[in-house]
Amino acid sequence: MNAPQSRPPLTPPRKEEIVDRTFELVREHGFAGLRMRQIADKVGVTEGALYRHFPSKEAILLALVDRIEGRLLGPIRQIASRADLSPERKLEEILRHHLRTVIESRSLPILLISEASFSEFEELRARMRGLLSTYLGILESIARQVETAEGLEPRELAVLLLGLPAGVALSQRLLPDEALAERLVGPVAARFIHLITAK
């Protein structure tokens, strides 16, 4: 007589669902202490079922990078390619999109960058370097078409534009302020672009 087999979950988790639940865990609690057991509990499956989709926590982190890359860079590439927008307007729309992504994800991009910068997981570090390099490259290519108020170089302008969402991510993570977030995505973003690109 065969030993009874454990029954599989009625609805096996999909990779997307696992990434969604991990996203929620990280958004709520950060990366510190994140364990496969927690992720399995959040998804409602055994750790074994989780490992059938992802061999390690690091593999799930890479999937999170894919998620952020899709949400952040996909729309930014579309904005950058629009012929109907001036370079200044492209920078404004990119900044607004980045700020919305930061606020909606409760600063997940900055958490991933922080995790990557201290991680011994080289693939994660390499992926985040690639994402950052691509993003700065897009900003720089647009910045070459803009005359700045202080004669900023394109790379300098690109780094300044990256800095504002990073600052917002830190402040919203530690000192959430919905009214401020709305102003930043709205009129403040437009004023910031005007200030640094005014002739």
pTM of the predicted model as reported, rounded to 2 decimal places = 0.83
Query: Which residue type, as a one-letter code, is found at position 130?
Result: G
- Whether 157 contacts 148, CB under 8 Å: yes
CATH topology of domain 10-55: Arc Repressor Mutant, subunit A (1.10.10)
CATH class of domain segment(s) 63-197 = mainly alpha
| pLDDT, tens only, 89-128 | 999 999 999 999 988 888 877 877 777 777 778 888 888 8
| pLDDT, tens only, 12-28 | 558 889 988 888 888 77
Q: What is the pLDDT of residue 89?
A: 95
> CA dist 132 to 9, 56, 68, Å?
39, 24, 11
For the chain, the first-to-last Cα distance in angstroms comes to 84
- Considering only 5-9, 60-64, 90-94, which range has the smallest mean pLDDT? 5-9
Q: Compute the average pLDDT of residues 150-168.
A: 90
Domains of the chain, by residue range, sit at 10-55, 63-197
> How far is residue 166 CA from its own chain's centroid?
11
Indicate the angle between helix axes 122-143 and 87-104, nearest 10 degrees. Answer: 150
The answer to whether residue 33 scores a pLDDT higher than 80 is no
Alpha-carbon distance of 129 to 134, in angstroms, equals 8
* 119 vs 196 pLDDT, higher one: 196
